[in-house]
Chains A and B, each alone.
Chain A
């Protein structure tokens, strides 16, 4: 018998509308799984059972009466970076370990308006800074495919929760790969939309010119369902783009004959695990069978993505995180002797090691005498990388390559070496620097661990990405696999 947690979001929506089960039944089913299995995974920081059951009951009423939103009654988890009115919102940090958000993020508000039911807030790397979910003040998240491995990060709790079927879908954020890399490492579909496609209002800021909200789901169709509700103009975010939102489901099944796929030569370099490369090449062959043309493209400045990012992102982070001063909200140190002591100890004690490292990196590259050599230069290289992408998209419709250089690694393996950890995002950072939409889809396994195929598109090409990902998922079973112990 098919269990409720084996169904995709789209299948659950059908089941709710045909009255095979109610939203309250769904919420109870998933809440029971969270209660039983979350202690093993540590995927949730907060479980909002009571609110969830109340929201599910309201959804059931609307489903019965008619006039329910597109996501009515569907359970979701939100990454704990999104402010949720009246609910603890920690951003994975001691600094916000007592912060009850006084308003909803626009993403949260829109998904709630569409009728979705929040089950809880997902664990994450502290302030979204990390690629392994090991920097969280609430402890590391385990990968359901192998409990000794990391789930990726920073949206690691969202990824582990969906992969283990504790919730059918979750929100995430992606500043340098924080949706796509954990999606790849846990066998999920992870979508990072175009910068500005989804509002950042109420999404706790890390690097404001790179941060973008997106989804972690079982399928591309589910990602389309969620994005439909999340995307669109929001006057509360001055960088949110005022452009019409297409019907993402309408174009999912468009044939791929004639699609021009660019193979990123810089991605198939020596750093890539040969078995990982093989999985990606097999996926590319399938696309050829579907009628796509493969074209090799070179983006000469792309290898500078990681160093560019590790100037730009820390610079923006040092500025954004200056708001945590122990005065208006969040943690404050005990018995400060004066204002300076209060600032320094509050921040020294409230932030974890990686966050402090990035604040200091950012402070240095922005400081007098170093600004031109580091920050201004990085901003110029960022334009070179962006121009490389723009040139490539004159030749091809989408770009493809791996999402992550390796499958999930051991918990603890890279924590002492920031540069090695940073290089996990070598394939994902480019899309953030250029503001491009990108999606990771499961394309196979290496020794029982999932790996992902990354598809990058031009600005606002989410519909094309979802179409290209969906057509692959129609032909493959990788996205349907469930980790042992979580069936």
Chain B
């Protein structure tokens, strides 16, 4: 699979990543190589094979009672935030 610059720009947009002009050809090249590399998977016969999402076959995702178990630690958590005010997280204006 060979990707174009436009393809990679599209992927970067979906992934919300700014990519510099200098980085772009590097990613075009390496992502194309990776996608070609993983095409080996086409050699496998996977008809009637159930896709596997969890490595332990007999395990199911456990549910727990919907109860509050955490105390309010907002102040502690907000100390890691880039910008906060009055307990709110600040971001650039979203609605004009």
Contact = CB atoms under 8 A, between A and B. Distances in A.
A126 B46 CA distance: 34
B34 A386 contact: no
Contact of B37 (A194, A343, A365, A419): A419
A301 B92 contact: no
A4 B39 CA distance: 52
Interface string B62-87: 10100000000100110111110000
Given A239-B61, A357-B31, A359-B17, A434 B44 contact: no
B8 to A, nearest CB: 7
Given A311-B38, A336-B92, A328 B81 contact: yes
Interface stretch (A151-159, A346-354, A398-406, A443-451): A346-354
Given A383-B50, A383-B51, A435 B56 contact: yes
A327 B49 contact: no
B91 A348 contact: no
B49 to A, nearest CB: 4
A326 interface: yes
Interface in B21-70: 23, 26-27, 30-31, 33-35, 37-44, 46, 49-57, 59, 61-62, 64
Contacts of B49: 380-381, 383-384
Contacts of A337: 92
A348 B11 CA distance: 13
A380 B82 contact: no
Nearest to A363: B15
Interface in A202-246: 209-210, 235, 238-239, 241-242
Contact of A307 (B19, B30, B31, B40): B40
A326 B26 CA distance: 25
Contacts of B31: 357, 360-361, 364
A318 B15 contact: yes
Contacts of A318: 15
A304 B31 CA distance: 19
Given A301-B44, A308-B41, A337-B92, A347 B18 contact: yes
B30 A357 contact: yes
B76 to A, nearest CB: 5
Nearest to B62: A238
Contact of B89 (A196, A238, A327): A327
A98 to B, nearest CB: 8
Interface string A127-161: 00000000000000000000000000000000000
A209 B15 contact: no
Interface string A320-363: 00100111111110001111111111011101010011011101
Interface of A: 98-100, 102, 194-196, 209-210, 235, 238-239, 241-242, 301, 304, 306-308, 310-311, 318, 322, 325-332, 336-345, 347-349, 351, 353, 356-357, 359-361, 363-365, 367, 374, 376-384, 386, 418-419, 422, 432-435, 459
Given A100-B80, A195-B55, 17 more contacts: A98-B80, A239-B54, A304-B40, A325-B16, A329-B77, A337-B92, A347-B17, A353-B23, A359-B15, A360-B11, A363-B11, A363-B15, A364-B11, A379-B52, A380-B51, A418-B34, A419-B34
15 contacts: A99-B80, A196-B55, A235-B64, A238-B61, A241-B56, A304-B44, A327-B91, A328-B89, A330-B80, A330-B82, A337-B92, A338-B93, A349-B18, A374-B41, A379-B53
